[in-house]
Structure 1
């Protein structure tokens, strides 16, 4: 299966168009998650999130820049792939997120749970 287009040309995360996606940049309640908020520097937040991702099973970092991370999560049984994107805006101490399954219609809240688990792990690391 071809990789989906993720971050749009203007640097924004792609919108969610299916029930197997969540994003902090949408106002649609069914797809909405809160961004991750942090104290300190953007680089420190990015490095902390990269450490967390490195500890999770089935994760492959596809692309990493100073303001964007794309990670693929491969499920252990069905070998399906979900895409997680993290965007680190230059203003404000927030991280925008988008997590989406590549196949299927409904993900049984797997992407929402992934984002909330990532948030909880990140918050636990904060002073």
Structure 2
């Protein structure tokens, strides 16, 4: 009986630690004046609309119909085991991207005029992500590039 109780306590502690690593959903994300939220000073964020080189990443480029490209991105994110779409509005997607211990927040904004999708991805917690947000956005870029556009 004592062993079972200790196992329950240990599992409770581990669950609490894992929950603490995911952090709370940010309340400051979204689109303001056609722009995604700026990155914080820490290096654990990338943003295609960033004015500084440390955080800048290229947007996703596409040819053809903007809505079809955005539907392709949504389909791609829906197929990723590490992604959950949290918010969807016309031309805007917000997703949670998980690693073993952490949750990152990603945003995608359709930029019809530039035939691109602006991107932002940031860690909820910590200072450095060892480049994980940048690598993941590049993985998404490559998958988006080769994925066929869904038929409407």
- TM-score (norm. length: structure 2): 0.76
For the aligned residues, what is the CA RMSD? 1.5
Structure 1 stretch displaced more, 10-19 or 43-52 = 10-19
Partner of 1:48: 72
Aligned equivalents of 1:71 and 1:42: distance in 2? Answer: 19
Larger CA Rg, structure 1 vs 2: 2
Greater helix content: 2
Partner of 2:130: 108
Partner of 1:12: 35
Structure 1: where are the runs of 5+ without partners? Answer: none
Alignment equivalent of 2:88, drawn from 64, 70, 78: 64
How many pairs were matched up?
125
Structure 2: where are the runs of 5+ without partners? Answer: 1-22
Aligned equivalents of 1:13 and 1:109: distance in 2? Answer: 20
State the 4+ residue runs in structure 1 displaced beyond 6 angstroms.
none
Alignment equivalent of 1:94, drawn from 102, 111, 116: 116
Structure 2 CA distance for partners of 1:116 and 1:107, relative to 1, 3 Å:
same
Q: Is the 8 A contact 2:72 2:148 kept in 1?
A: no
Q: Is the 8 A contact 2:83 2:95 kept in 1?
A: yes
Aligned equivalents of 1:53 and 1:26: distance in 2? Answer: 23
